[in-house]
Amino acid sequence: MSQRPGYLIRRLHQIHVALFQDACGAFEVTPLQYSLLSALAVRETADQTTLAADIALDRTTTTGALKRLAARNLVERAVNKDDRRARLCRLTPAGAALLVKIEDAARRAHRATLGDLSEKEQALFIEMMQRIVAGNPSRDSSAALFD
């Protein structure tokens, strides 16, 4: 199993989630929720479909995570006046403040995930992962991902 990419990728994900939880657990934010908060910080306002695409998740999972963030007053979800079926999302002041507070801890988790690699190896590993992702833009099993 230790030679199979799928197994190693799944284990690496499990390790990263555990490291993220260790570093960021006090903030009660999952890696997926952190990705959504970060995407909203960049976009300022976005509909749920755009946010789902930004973080490579299905719309249903994204909507559920956004509802949980809204219940904590970290995100606002307003009906789009131009398309009543869509919701426009943005960070609340509390969400923006939380993102500032969690940023250092999240960076520590990301560094810890790659901590057994030299700086050169880290850069190469990131580059290789980016190539795999870029080479498979339509390969998505995001429906199997959960918050």
Tens-digit pLDDT profile for residues 23-51: 999 999 999 999 999 999 999 999 888 89
Task: Assign 129 to helix, strand or coil.
Answer: helix
> How deeply is 69 buried, as exposed, middle or buried, from its count of CB atoms within 10 A (0-12, 13-18, 19+)?
buried
Q: What is the chain's mean pLDDT, rounded?
A: 89
Give the number of residues written for the chain: 147
Nearest to 46 by CA among 68, 73, 66, 72: 66
How far is the C-alpha of 87 from the C-alpha of 104, rounded, in Å? 30
Give pLDDT, residue 18. Answer: 95
DSSP 44: S
Reported as a pLDDT band with limits 50, 70 and 90, residue 1 is low
Q: Are 20 and 31 in contact (CB under 8 A)?
A: yes
Phi first, then psi: what are they for 78, rounded to 5°? -110, 145
Q: Are 12 and 128 in contact (CB under 8 A)?
A: no
Chosen CATH of 5-135 out of 3.40.366.10, 1.10.10.10, 3.40.50.300, 3.40.50.2300: 1.10.10.10
Structure pTM?
Answer: 0.82
